[in-house]
Amino acid sequence: MAATIEVNNVCKEFLDKEQLGTHLVLSGVNLKAKAGEFISLIGPSGCGKTTLLRIVHGLETPTSGTVLCDGRPVTRPDHNRVFVFQHFNLFPWRTVRENIAYGLEVRGDPRSGRDDHVQSMVNLVGLRGFEKFYPHEISGGMQQRVGIARALALDPDVLLMDEPFGALDAITREKLQRDIAEILGVQPKTTLFVTHNMDEAIYFSDRILVFGIKPGRIVEDLKVPLARPRQADLVRASREFAEIREHLWSLLSLEMQK
C-alpha cells in the first residue's frame, strides 16, 4: 500500500537562544505527493529538509499549517510512516534478524507470523546468511540494509529517507542505490527522500523539490520525465539527465550564493 501526503502552508520556527528570539526554518511549504510517488528534497544545508520530514512523520509539530496522510491530519508518529536515517541507529546488542524484527515487536505483531516475515525482509535486502551477525560484525552498507529492512518490514504507506546513503563510500552507495530502486519497484511506497546528491535525486525521483534557504521554502517543483524502470547507466548517459542536472545546479548555485 501507499498513501497520499499533503503539506499545506507549513511554517516552522525554532527558538534562537543566542538572540532570544525565534528562527524561521520553514516558510509556507506546500506539496502534494500521490500514492506511490517518489519525491526528492534537495537544497543547501540548513534549509529545513530534515525538519520537514520530521513534521511529516509526526516527530515535530509545525508552528502553523497542516500535514495530511490519506486525508487524515498528522499529529504524532505512526507505523504507517517510517523513517530511515542517515546513521544506521541499530541496536548493537541485537542481531541482524532481531534489529529487523524490532518494529514488529513494538507494534505487537504475533510471533507466529513474525519470523517468516522477518526472513523475507532479510532475503529482500540481500542479507541471507547474516541473520545472526551483530552490527559490529557487518559493513556499513550491510548495516544500512538492516535499517531499510527494519523500515520495510512494517509495510508502511510512507517511507521517509534522510540521506540514507550519505555515510557510505561511493561503491557501496552506488550498489545500494540500485538495490533500493529495485526493491521499491517491487514494493512501491510513497517516498520523501532528502539528499544533497543531484545524480541520486534524478535517478530515483518522479519529482524533485528544490529548497531555498533563509527561510527554507520550495523554489521549484521539477518533474523528472524519465521512463521507468530505469537502468542507472543508461539514465546517467542520457541527454535528459544532463539537462536536468544542469538546471538543478543553476538553481542550487543561486541559493548557495544567498
How far apart, in Å, are the Cα atoms of 130 and each of 114, 139, 154, 170, 236? 18, 11, 20, 23, 33
C-alpha cell at 240: 535528459
Domain-located, residue 141: yes
CATH of the domain at 85: 3.40.50.300
d(CA 30, CA 19): 29
- Which of residues 137 and 21 earns the better pLDDT score? 137
Q: What is the pLDDT of residues 173-193, one digit of tens each?
A: 788 788 888 878 877 889 999
Domain-located, residue 138: yes
Domain-located, residue 166: yes
Domain coverage including residue 96: 79-191
Domain-located, residue 51: no
The mean per-residue pLDDT over the stretch 121-144 comes to: 91
Domain-located, residue 9: no
Domain-located, residue 176: yes
Domain tally, the chain: 1
Distance of CA 108 to the CA centre of its chain: 25
Range name among 32-46, 97-111, 176-190 with the lowest pLDDT average: 176-190
d(CA 53, CA 102): 22
- pLDDT at residue number 19: 64
Domain-located, residue 57: no
Domain-located, residue 151: yes
C-alpha cell at 47: 534549509
d(CA 118, CA 111): 10
Is the peptide bond preceding residue 215 cis, with omega within 30 degrees of 0?
yes
